Amino acid sequence: MTMTPQAISAANASPYQPRRVPRAFGQTATAPDQAGMLDMPQTPGRPEDRPAAVELRVPPEITPGPYRIGIADVLLLATTAPVTEAEALSGILAAQNRRQGYTVQDDGTIAIPNTGRVRVAGLTVEDAEAAVFQALVASEMDPTFSLEIAEFNSKRVSVGGAVGRPALVPITLQPLRLGEALQLAGGVVAPDQDYASIRLFRDGTLYQIPLTDFFTSARLQRIALTDGDAVYVDTSYELDRAQQYFADQLALVQADTAARANVLDQLETEFTIRRAQLEEERQNFVALTELDALERDYVYRAGELVRQSRLALPYGRMANLADAIYAEGGFDNARGNPSQIYLLRGFGTTGGVRAYHLDARNPGNLILATQMQLRPNDFIFIEEQPITKWNRVVSQFVPSLFNQAASLSTGL
């Protein structure tokens, strides 16, 4: 196959990921996180009557999806079956108060009389209606009904601290916003709002919003809450706590010099250990490479080259045909035939071989050699010049003639 841009593009499409050097070659020995310990407190002053300004840390924005029914939610299923007003009222009360009937149970189902259990946990209201419809049809009952959520008990947000009524606020069909949750808990009752904050715990991370920022920003008031969030209005700054903090600072200053020296020693030791570990990993890799003890990808060079050899493909990048031709002394100009350069590549599982032919007599074709990527076990072969072939025939034939002549003269 002649090596053309189209043929090269098809050959390069075969998947291959070059091997990579160990991570130790891309790392540096950095100091551990204990560096922050060097910032020890300096000479203490008098305790402040006010704390420092609270930093604003807003939780990442979330997009509430449609409400999904959960365990302990109460569903109200209204059918066209004739019932008295007392029976209807009794049915609703039973579902609400005795956690049976249409309360979503621990297995995620509701029990419908004469129909059986229908799994609704994790479904939207629309999906739950479809599930109930199929259950009624399968039970040969009138599938005319309406379904709504009577109580939202599965998804809640806790609100506490300096609020009127600490509470568990349910999440309903409409997204629950931070401002709404605080209002449902009786509103903020902080005596000094300048130094109060709203702290939001979510998935193990603490976020905080200064109360003054909250009241002046509609965006902060509309932060969407999700199931499991905990909101706490914090106004716990007190003078006795400040005094205790001041005493703690005095104790830290007394140990300042010793602590700094100790931390510096620890940092230096840690840095030395990490640097030695990286160096050892690198030296081990180099040694294993020199011993040919690591798995490598190779191509093979034969024919009229200065040195025929097995050539290891590089780490972390693609090699090309030009790399293989000109490696280790390159092309033998005296004996090699530039018009007969071949790259042989196996393909498939049947042992088939595909040969790509490059005619390098035209220097412009050498660009193709830089575009042809190599793959493991490729075989690069350069044929000999016709005159080289003739010279080799003569060099083998002439000595045999002299030997024959010498034998005949000796026999005479």
Domains of the chain: 5-19+296-389 (3.10.560.10), 74-151 (3.30.1950), 156-236 (3.10.560.10)
Q: Are 214 and 207 in contact (CB under 8 A)?
A: no
Which contacts (CB < 8 Å, 24+ apart) does range 295-298 have? 295/19, 296/19, 297/18, 297/19, 297/376, 297/377, 298/376, 298/377
* Percentage of residues of the chain with pLDDT beyond 70: 75
Cα separation, 326 vs 362, in Å, equals 17
Q: What is the mean pLDDT of residues 315-323?
A: 90
Give residue 241's pLDDT band: very low, low, confident or very high (50, 70, 90): very low
Q: Name which of 343, 276, 325, 332 is nearest 304 in CA terms.
A: 332
> Residue 48 pLDDT > 50, yes or no?
no
Q: What is the pLDDT of residue 70?
A: 92
Helix extents (H) in 98-238? 125-138, 178-184, 211-216, 218-221
Q: What is the pLDDT of residue 38?
A: 47
**Mind listing the pLDDT tens digit for each residue in 210-237?**
888 999 999 999 999 999 888 988 876 5
Q: What is the pLDDT of residue 222?
A: 94
Q: What is the pLDDT of residue 126?
A: 93
